[in-house]
């Protein structure tokens, strides 16, 4: 049975570079060529999300490859986790604009975003069903159908004495 492979690093790298170029280039254009009215201000936050998400996408891919999980992450999860970085950075910029940003607020916001991602991953784990090929693989420390641990003959006690 063919197992679907996750996209390669090149896919995430090109996606990240594309997002980063659009985001950082747009941010530069907004900062240099516009006045801080309401439209360009919201464009600034949107482009900030793109820039930070594109910049963090290869890092998020590497961390998910380095620390694998069950169920394995799909491309949508990696992209979602990269977008969290962009949302966090743009929210910090928005809070700083109103002079509401402090170290405590930044830490609480980071904790809330980490909690949301943790709950989303917990939901995915709860809904995950292994494929038939994964379910048919034997478990290494399973018991025999007789209830005896593997390595002991049926009809004997754990000490090796017959019943």
Task: Note the pLDDT tens digit of each residue in 109-118.
Answer: 999 999 999 9
For residues 14 and 2, what is the distance between their CA atoms, to the nearest angstrom? 26
Contact 85, 52 (CB under 8 A): yes
Residue 68, domain extent: 9-128
Count the domains in the chain: 1
User: Does residue 136 fall inside a structural domain?
Assistant: no
pLDDT tens digits, one per residue of 50-89: 999 999 999 999 999 999 988 889 999 999 999 999 999 9
Q: How far apart are CA 84 and CA 112, in angstroms?
A: 11
Q: Is residue 103 part of a domain?
A: yes
Within-domain flag for 140: no
- From the number of C-beta atoms within 10 Å of its C-beta (0-12, 13-18, 19+), residue 157 rates as exposed
> Which tokens in the block code for residue 53?
């998400």
In a domain, 44, yes or no: yes
């Amino acid at each position: 049975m063919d197992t679907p492979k996750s996209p390669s690093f090149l896919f995430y790298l090109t996606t990240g570079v594309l997002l980063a170029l659009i985001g950082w280039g747009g941010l530069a254009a907004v900062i240099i060529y516009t006045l801080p009215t309401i439209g360009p201000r919201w464009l600034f936050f949107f482009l900030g999300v793109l820039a930070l998400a594109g910049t963090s996408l290869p890092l998020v891919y590497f961390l998910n490859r380095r620390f694998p999980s069950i169920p394995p992450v799909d491309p949508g999860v990696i992209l979602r986790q990269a977008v969290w970085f962009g949302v966090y950075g743009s929210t910090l910029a928005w809070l700083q604009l109103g002079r509401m940003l402090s170290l405590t607020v930044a830490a609480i916001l980071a904790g809330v975003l980490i909690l949301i991602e943790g709950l989303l991953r917990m939901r995915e784990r709860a809904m995950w069903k292994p494929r038939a090929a994964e379910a048919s693989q034997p478990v290494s420390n399973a018991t025999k159908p007789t209830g005896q641990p593997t390595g002991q003959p049926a009809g004997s006690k754990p000490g090796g004495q017959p019943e």
